[in-house]
């Protein structure tokens, strides 16, 4: 499937990303774009904050951090937004009504010249205005423009300035001088017919505007008198009854709209689930959508939610529900490239799944570069080398295979780095505790696993010196209680791995944690830690032993 067919594919590593999850995402995005001839179809994303080791790697080879992604749940931008043109604040109710009729829409959004949402006008608002026949001051109260009046009545201005607005007075119908006597106030708008005496009486009584119906003739005497008195004259083809009904429709929508602060609206990034919850608790049927700049972009309603374009993702360096971003069950997983156990992620249909028993995801991606005959740039090779050195502890981990060593040396030749010297600098950068908080360090490489009903987490940090390892242990141990509570985990373990001595000090927190360590590694923890000589791999040496210990424990207590 081409990226054009699915708009964009996000390539994502696991939560609390390590060097392999970030570098494999970048390298694989580059490879996929080369295969498909696209520069934007595939994008590497990160599922959390970058740790110091990975930050060192990215800076060293000239890369920016991938953009953060925390959820792949469908958003408003993943549905068909109705492109309904907004109307201006001064638009008349009549024009708004006609627009609703032409677009078969019961609601219109009111925007300013820059596209900022100002309000919302619905059919019921126009109907209410039209039915309020006793409000004779509606036009002046709304500061209605004479342009709107002319447009609504299809009128012609005989005397006056079309750019002026109605500021004072009420709306009345001029019948006869006898009936009008004492009923006209200065500034009133009077609807009249062709009766000369009625027109003149209205002018002499201080009318602000005469609306002459049926396109009746306006004599020169009336014209001159209107000019002298500062009275506006408009002629309209409509009869008095029709003009009286229509003229209130010249009121600008701003006078009857629901203002912006009272509107429920969505952004393009609002999730579909959240939008549906809002729709369910309100009586509104149409909801404006704002783009990334806060400008009006269209509207959505319940029917729009029926056709959702799922986000397309490729997962690298993980295949566990607990390790991936939110909303993955609502996304379409296109591929998984991994080197861990077959995890808990399920897909509704077949996908491309590539999992090999090697020490690093980037080793697999290197093979894919070779299979497609695509040259690896030096900076991409540097990222991939860094991932392999990180995951295999510079070829010292039991997870390291001959393939990892061969690929690592090939990548080192491309990027011009010495694996030993470069890995020392990389690991030193990762173990630097300057300015780091316990939370930051704890989450720099922490993964959650499950076996049956049991869930537990295992973190790991690697160190080149005993001093830096002990400093890290002192920083993290008081944080274990908070971490377990925040992540809702009954048991957590943390590996403090000495790369040079090939030893891990395993610290722990939670009920049964010590018993699990005894059963898994046949050691007796002391002072809250277990010394595990030769243990450096979480994936190959710690997780399988923990899984087996948990299974034994569950079997014993059934």
Residue 98 lies in a domain: yes
The residues, ordered by sequence, that sit 6+ positions from 295 with a Cβ below 8 Å of its Cβ are 114, 115, 116
Q: pLDDT (tens digit, 9 = 90+) per residue, 153-193?
A: 999 999 999 999 999 999 999 988 988 888 899 999 999 99
Domain boundary, last residue among 376, 406, 430 = 430
Residues in the chain: 558
Residue 389: CATH number of its domain: 3.90.1640.10
Six token digits for residue 243: 């003009």
Are residue 508 and residue 528 in the same domain, yes or no? Answer: yes
Q: What is the C-alpha separation between 164 and 232, in angstroms, rounded? A: 10
Are residue 262 and residue 124 in the same domain, yes or no? Answer: yes
Its sign, for the CA torsion 183, 184, 189, 192, is positive
The candidate with the shortest Cα–Cα distance to 358, out of 386, 388, 335, is: 388
Six token digits for residue 475: 């920083």
Are residue 218 and residue 240 in the same domain, yes or no? Answer: yes
Are residue 67 and residue 87 in the same domain, yes or no? Answer: no
Q: What is the 3-state secondary structure (H, E, C) of 12-65?
A: ECCCCCCHHHHHHHHHHHHHHHHHHCCCCCEEEEECCCCCHHHHHHHHHCCCCC
Give the structural domain span for 95.
77-129+255-306
Q: What is the C-alpha separation between 547 and 106, in angstroms, rounded? A: 59
Question: DSSP assignment of 319-348, as one string?
Answer: --GGGS-BTGGGSEEEEEEESS---S---S
Are residue 449 and residue 536 in the same domain, yes or no? Answer: yes
Q: What is the C-alpha separation between 507 and 232, in angstroms, rounded? A: 89
Residue 32 lies in a domain: yes
Domain boundary, last residue among 206, 235, 250 = 250
Measuring CA to CA, how many Å separate 284 from each of 104, 278, 412?
17, 10, 61
Q: Would you say 164 and 232 are in contact if contact means Cβ atoms under 8 Å apart?
A: yes
Are residue 385 and residue 450 in the same domain, yes or no? Answer: no
Q: In what order do the strands lie in the sheet with 189-192?
A: 156-159, 232-235, 209-212, 189-192, 171-173
Residue 552 lies in a domain: yes
Q: At what angle do helices 52-60 and 419-431 cross, to 10 degrees?
A: 130
Q: Which residues pair with 253 in a beta bridge?
A: none
Are residue 147 and residue 195 in the same domain, yes or no? Answer: yes
| Displacement of CA 297 from its chain's centroid (Å) | 14
Residue 198 lies in a domain: yes
Q: pLDDT (tens digit, 9 = 90+) per residue, 463-482?
A: 887 888 899 999 999 999 99
Residue 135 lies in a domain: no
Q: Which residues pair with 530 in a beta bridge?
A: 506
Please compute Rg for the chain using Cα positions.
37
Residue 323, burial from CB neighbour count under 10 angstroms (0-12, 13-18, 19+) = buried
Residue 204 lies in a domain: yes
Residue 110: CATH number of its domain: 3.10.580.10
Judged by DSSP in three states, 107 sits in strand
Q: Would you say 506 and 494 are in contact if contact means Cβ atoms under 8 Å apart?
A: yes
Q: Would you say 43 and 10 are in contact if contact means Cβ atoms under 8 Å apart?
A: yes
Buried b (16+ CB within 10 A) or exposed e, 118-143: bbbbbeebbeebbeeeeeeebbbebe
Residue 452: CATH number of its domain: 3.10.310.20
Residue 137 lies in a domain: no
The residues, ordered by sequence, that sit 6+ positions from 89 with a Cβ below 8 Å of its Cβ are 110, 112, 118, 119, 252, 253, 254
Residue 182, Ramachandran bin (φ over 0: left; ψ between -120 and 50: alpha; else beta): left
| pLDDT score recorded for residue 3 | 42
The residues, ordered by sequence, that sit 6+ positions from 212 with a Cβ below 8 Å of its Cβ are 158, 192, 193, 194, 199, 218, 233, 234, 235, 236
Are residue 187 and residue 336 in the same domain, yes or no? Answer: no
Are residue 424 and residue 367 in the same domain, yes or no? Answer: yes
Residue 352: CB atoms within 10 Å: 10
Domain boundary, last residue among 397, 414, 430 = 430
pTM over 0.85: no
Alpha helices in 432-501 (DSSP H): 438-442, 466-476, 480-486
| Bridge pairing between strands 189-192 and 287-290 | unpaired
Six token digits for residue 164: 């002026």
Are residue 246 and residue 265 in the same domain, yes or no? Answer: no
Are residue 378 and residue 443 in the same domain, yes or no? Answer: no
- Domain total in the chain: 4
> Average pLDDT for consecutive 10-residue bins of the chain (558 residues)?
62 95 98 85 95 95 96 92 94 95 92 94 90 85 96 96 94 90 91 94 94 94 95 96 93 94 92 92 89 93 88 94 91 94 87 96 98 98 97 92 97 97 91 87 90 90 86 94 94 93 94 93 93 93 93 76
Six token digits for residue 518: 């005894």
Residue 172: CATH number of its domain: 3.40.1390.20
Are residue 406 and residue 455 in the same domain, yes or no? Answer: no
Six token digits for residue 330: 């609502």
Residue 134 lies in a domain: no
């Amino acid at each position: 499937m081409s990226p054009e067919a699915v708009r964009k594919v996000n390539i994502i590593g696991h939560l609390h990303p390590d060097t392999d999850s970030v570098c494999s995402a970048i390298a694989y995005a580059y490879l996929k774009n080369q295969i498909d001839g696209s520069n934007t179809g595939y994008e590497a994303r990160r599922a959390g904050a970058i740790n110091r080791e990975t930050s060192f790697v990215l800076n060293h080879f000239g890369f920016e951090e991938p953009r953060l992604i925390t959820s792949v749940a469908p958003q408003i931008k993943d549905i068909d937004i109705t492109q309904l043109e907004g109307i201006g604040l001064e638009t008349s109710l009549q024009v708004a009504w006609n627009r609703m009729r032409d677009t078969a829409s019961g609601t219109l959004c009111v925007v300013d010249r820059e596209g900022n949402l100002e309000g919302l006008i619905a059919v019921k608002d126009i109907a209410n205005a039209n039915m309020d026949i006793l409000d004779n001051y509606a036009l002046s109260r709304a500061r209605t423009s004479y342009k709107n009046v002319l447009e609504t009545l299809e009128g012609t201005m005989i005397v006056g300035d079309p750019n002026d607005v109605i500021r004072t007075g009420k709306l009345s119908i001029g019948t006869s001088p006898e009936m009008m006597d004492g009923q006209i106030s200065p500034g009133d708008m009077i609807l009249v017919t062709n009766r000369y005496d009625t027109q003149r009486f209205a002018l002499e009584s201080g009318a602000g505007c005469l609306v002459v119906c049926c396109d009746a003739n306006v004599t020169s005497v009336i014209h001159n008198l209107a000019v002298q008195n500062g009275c506006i004259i408009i002629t309209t083809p409509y009869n008095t009854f029709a003009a009286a009904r229509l003229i209130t429709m010249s009121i600008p929508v701003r006078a009857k709209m629901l203002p912006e602060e009272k509107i429920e609206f969505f952004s393009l990034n609002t999730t579909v689930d959240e939008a549906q919850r809002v729709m369910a608790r309100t009586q509104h049927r149409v909801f404006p959508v704002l783009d990334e700049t806060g400008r009006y972009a269209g509207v959505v309603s319940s029917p729009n939610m029926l056709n959702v374009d799922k986000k397309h993702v490729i997962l690298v360096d993980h295949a566990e529900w607990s390790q991936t971003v939110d909303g993955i069950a609502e996304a379409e997983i296109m591929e998984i490239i991994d080197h861990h156990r077959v995890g808990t992620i399920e897909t509704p249909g077949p996908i491309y799944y590539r999992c090999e028993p090697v020490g690093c995801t980037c080793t697999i991606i290197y093979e894919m570069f070779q299979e497609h005959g695509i040259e690896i740039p030096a900076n991409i090779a540097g990222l991939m080398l860094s991932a392999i050195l990180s995951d295999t502890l510079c070829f010292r981990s039991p997870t390291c295979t001959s393939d990892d060593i061969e690929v690592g040396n090939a990548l080192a030749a491309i990027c011009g780095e010495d694996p030993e010297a470069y890995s020392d600098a990389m690991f030193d950068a990762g173990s630097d505790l300057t300015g780091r908080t316990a939370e930051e360090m704890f989450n720099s490489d922490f993964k959650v696993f499950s076996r049956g009903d049991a869930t537990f987490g295992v973190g790991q940090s690697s160190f080149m010196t005993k001093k830096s390892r002990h400093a890290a242990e002192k920083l993290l141990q008081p944080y274990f209680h908070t971490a377990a509570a925040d992540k809702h985990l009954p048991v957590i373990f943390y590996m403090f791995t000495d790369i040079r001595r090939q030893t891990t000090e395993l610290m722990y927190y939670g009920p049964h944690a010590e018993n699990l360590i005894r059963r898994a590694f046949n050691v007796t923890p002391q002072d809250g830690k277990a010394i595990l000589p030769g243990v450096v791999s979480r994936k190959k040496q710690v997780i399988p032993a923990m899984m087996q210990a948990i299974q034994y424990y569950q079997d014993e207590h059934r």
